[in-house]
Structure formats: structure tokens, C-alpha cells
Amino acid sequence: MKKAELVFVPLPGIGHFVSCVELAKLLVECDERLSITVLIMKLPFDPKVSSYTNSLVETPNLHIRYLELMKEEPSSQLSSFLSILFRFIDNHKSCVREVLAEISNSVSSHLGGIVIDMFCTSLIDVANEFGVPSYIFCPGGAATLGVLFQLQSLRDDLNEDVSHYENSDVELALPTYINPVPAKLLSSALFEKDGSVDMFLDQAKRYRKTKGIIINTFLEFESHAIHALSNDKTIPPVYAVGPLLNLKGSNSQNQETEMIKKWLDLQPECSVVFLCFGSAGSFDGDQVEEIAYALERSGYRFLWSLRRPSPKEKFEFPSEYENLDEVLPEGFLQRTAAVGKVIGWAPQAAVLSHPAVGGFVSHCGWNSILESVWCGVPVATWPLYAEQQQNAFLMVKDLQWQWRSK
């Protein structure tokens, strides 16, 4: 009897990729008759993803195959990140087609379907060529997914120009939120130049034509949003399979993690405030100084993940400072040495699970929210970009779990 094989195509960003891999692991653990091929598209400016995917490729797994696709350089001729991303994904269509053809012709397995990241909807066309179902993987929450569906419906069903919501004082009644949501909290990425709002909403329109939507959330956490999506007959079945978390980290992170863990081991229980702002979060020099002064004056113990901002006009992720003294107030590290530690990249799950950590200042990326809930660490929300304002609103207003920084 042939094994069923699924093909997973995650977005090549660490926040999307890791949770997709955790889903693959979960599925093969549930049924040994299933095998999964995870296709890896590599962005040249995200070294954390490269390190993580390399560790996957080097680790044998009987039921999961990791396959690196031919490297495609993102176009530099397009002016918005979203345009570059979608072109980058489109350029991998032929590679995905070859993999699906190989599996379709296999004598040992049959192609059961394709699971694609929510930004990779152009690959639905490839799945349709082979007559197999497509499933959308949403690494974020159900509430924010509902925003896309609602805006897409307003545009296509009511012929409304949703771009006027940018910086608007209007409050929106969104089915996946309990309270009205201020329009100014909508993701700024929706309203970038070059028609970004239509690009996003065209993605949502295609979600409606798939076999199902897999969401990295769980019913006890987002019950209102999940029920709202499930009760909408124009939306495919939704499957809340979270929280999908990589709590073990990877082998390449062990040395960094051990250094941080040793410092935390010396701190009293629930005494440390952890500041971390995600793989793309960073601050300019003036803001860094203000944070430093606030930490010093507070007198609290702290662990601060501080990253160098990416160069302006370049699509790169934050990097590490070679010398922290160049950005921190003079003498700050010496004056706070007894109570604080400033680091670069942080093994976030390992830090949050440590008993010394009692609070988390977070950008409210979805993975960070799930990790804080899993570890039981209260959060001061500091949303920075993408859908994080909406995530913070969900936590503070709808769920009333956290408090928001001013």
C-alpha cells in the first residue's frame, strides 16, 4: 500500500518557517503512514533561517524530507517588500512543479495534497495542475486572519475602497474581535505603496477556494475568532492546531543559549524582565538610549535583546552590534552589571521558560504571544510592525490578559 505524501511550502522567514515545520512533525507523529516533503526557499538576507534549515537538513527523519529548492535571488527592480516577496515565490513555481511531478510518479507514495504558507497562494495553481487539494497554513492568529477576510469582503462584495482606513479614526466591527477595532491599528503593511492592500486582499480571496485553513492557535485561547471563522460559510473549514512551538531550539544555538541560561540561573525566581522584539524588531539610537535610562532607573533585573537596525532602503533583517557601547549611554553596562545583561539574538523560548523570568516586554509577534502563554509569563505589549497592533489589541482589550506600554 502506498504511503500518503504531503508537500509543505513555508514562507522563508523564521516566524513562518519554524511553526510550519512543527506542524509537519506533529502530523507524522500522529500517523506513521504519512510522509512529508518540506520545500525550502532561501532568502539571502536572513541568516537565522539558513542556520535553522541547515540543522534540519543535517538531521535525519524517516518521515520528513527537507528539500532545498534552487536558489532564486529576489528582484531588486521592485520598490516594495511585498512585490519582491511575491515575485520571489512565483519564481519557485517550476521547482515546486518538479517536486510534485516526482512524487506523483513515485511507486511508493501518492501525492495527497499541498500545504502552503498564507503568502504563497500563487502555488495553488501548481497544485491544481496535479489535481490535488491545497491547504493554507496561517502561522498567525485567527483574529488577524479574520481582518483580511472582512476587508476582502468589503472590497469585493460591497465595492468599498478599504484604503481609506489608513490612519482613520473609524472603529471597525470585525467578526473575529469582541470589541470594535480602531482602523489605525490595521497593519501598516496593508497600505504600503504599489497597491499592497490589493495584494493582501487578493491572497485572502484565494484562501476561500482552498480545501481548508490550518491556523497556529487553539480553541481555548481564540474561541471567539475561531467560531466566527467556522460559522462563515464562505470560508473553508478552519483547523486550530496550535500552539506550534519549537521549545527545544536548534543545535547551532546551544552555546549562546548556555551563556544566557547561566546568567539567569544566578537570578532570583520571577525577578527578571525580558525585553525582546522579534527577528525584525529594532530601534534607532535615541530610542535605545531612552530604554536604557528607563531600565537603569527602574532598578529591576533585566535581560535585553538588542539588535542593530537594518540599513535604510535595504530589505534586510536586524544584525548584531559588534560593540554595544556605541549605542548605549556611556557607562550603562558598568552601572547595571549587577542586575542586567544586554545580549544580541535571544533564544526566546528558553528564556521565557526559565523560572527567573517574571515579565516580558514584547513586540507581540504571534509566536512570541504563544510562547508567553505557554510559559505563563505576563507581557507588556510594545507592537512595532505588521499585524502586531492587532495582536496587542486582542490581548489587552478582547482577552484582557496583558497591559499595554505607553
pLDDT in tens, 14-26: 889 999 999 999 9
Give the fold, CATH level 3, of 255-362.
Rossmann fold (3.40.50)
With pLDDT > 90 as the criterion, what percentage of the chain qualifies? 70
Query: Which of 42-56, 59-73, 157-171, 284-298 has the weakest average pLDDT?
Result: 42-56
Q: Which residue do the cell numbers 536558489 mark?
A: 71
Omega of the bond leading into 243 within 30 degrees of 0 (cis) = yes
From the DSSP assignment, how many helices (H) and strands (E) are in the chain?
14, 15
- Amino acid in position 343: I
**pLDDT at residue 47 in the model:** 62
**CA dist., res. 177 & res. 113, Å (int):** 32
Does residue 190 have a pLDDT over 90? no
The pTM of this model reads 0.92
**What is the C-alpha separation between 205 and 188, in angstroms, rounded?**
20
Cβ pair 313, 338 in contact under 8 A = no
pLDDT of residue 406: 45
The strand pair at 181-182 and 171-172 is best described as antiparallel
pLDDT of residue 256: 78
Q: What distance in Å separates the CA atoms of residue 14 and residue 280, rounded to the nearest whole number?
A: 10
- Find cell 504599489 and name the residue: 194
Q: What 3-state class would DSSP assign to 311?
A: coil
DSSP state of 307: -
pLDDT mean over 290-305:
97
Name 323's Cβ contacts closer than 8 Å, sequence gap at least 6. Answer: none
Out of 29-43, 47-61, 150-164, 193-207, pick the least confident: 47-61
Of the segments 183-187, 248-252, 330-334, which one has the largest average pLDDT value?
330-334
At residue 352 the predicted structure's pLDDT band, cuts being 50, 70 and 90, is very high
Q: How far apart are CA 401 and CA 406, in angstroms?
A: 16
- How sure is the predictor about 296, in pLDDT bands with cuts at 50, 70 and 90? very high
Task: Look over the chain and give the mean of its residue pLDDT values, rounded to a whole number.
Answer: 90
SS3 content of the chain, % helix, strand, coil (to 5): 40, 15, 40
CA 30, CA 247: separation in Å to the nearest integer? 19
Q: Do the domains 255-362 and 3-240 match in fold?
A: yes
Distance CA 147, CA 318 (A): 28
Q: Which of 49-53, 202-206, 377-381 has the lowest mean pLDDT?
A: 49-53
Query: Which pLDDT band holds residue 313 (cuts at 50, 70, 90)?
Result: low
Contact 365, 359 (CB under 8 A): no
Max CA distance (Å), the chain = 69
- pLDDT-based confidence at residue 200 (cuts at 50, 70, 90): very high
pLDDT at 196: 83
Find the mean pLDDT for residues 172-190: 93
Q: Measured between alpha carbons, how far is 207 from 216 in angstroms, rounded to an integer? A: 16
For residue 345, the 8-state DSSP code is S
Q: Is the pLDDT score of 276 beyond 80?
A: yes
Architecture of domain 3-240: 3-Layer(aba) Sandwich (3.40)
Amino acid (1-letter code) at residue 71? K
Percent of the chain with pLDDT over 70: 91
| 75-91 tens-digit pLDDT | 555 567 778 888 899 99
Query: When comparing pLDDT for 146 and 57, which is higher?
Result: 146
Instruction: Assess contact for 10 and 38: CB atoms under 8 A.
Output: yes
Domain ranges of the chain: 3-240, 255-362
Contact 243, 217 (CB under 8 A): yes
CA distances 213 to 173, 230, 233, 240, Å, are: 23, 10, 13, 9
Q: How far is CA 310 from CA 187, 323, 364, in A?
A: 20, 16, 20
Inter-residue contact 366 to 395 (CB < 8 Å): no
Burial of 104 (0-12, 13-18, 19+ CB in 10 A): middle
Buried b / exposed e along 1-29 (16+ C-beta atoms within 10 A) = eeeebbbbbbbbbbbbbbbbbbbbeebbe
**What SS3 class is residue 272?**
strand
Encode pLDDT of 232-268 as tens digits: 999 999 999 999 998 876 555 567 788 999 999 999 9
Mean pLDDT of 261-286: 94
Q: Give SS3 for 63.
A: coil
Cα dist from 345 to 47, 52, 259, 281, whole Å: 12, 14, 12, 11
Q: Do 25 and 247 contact (CB within 8 A), yes or no?
A: no
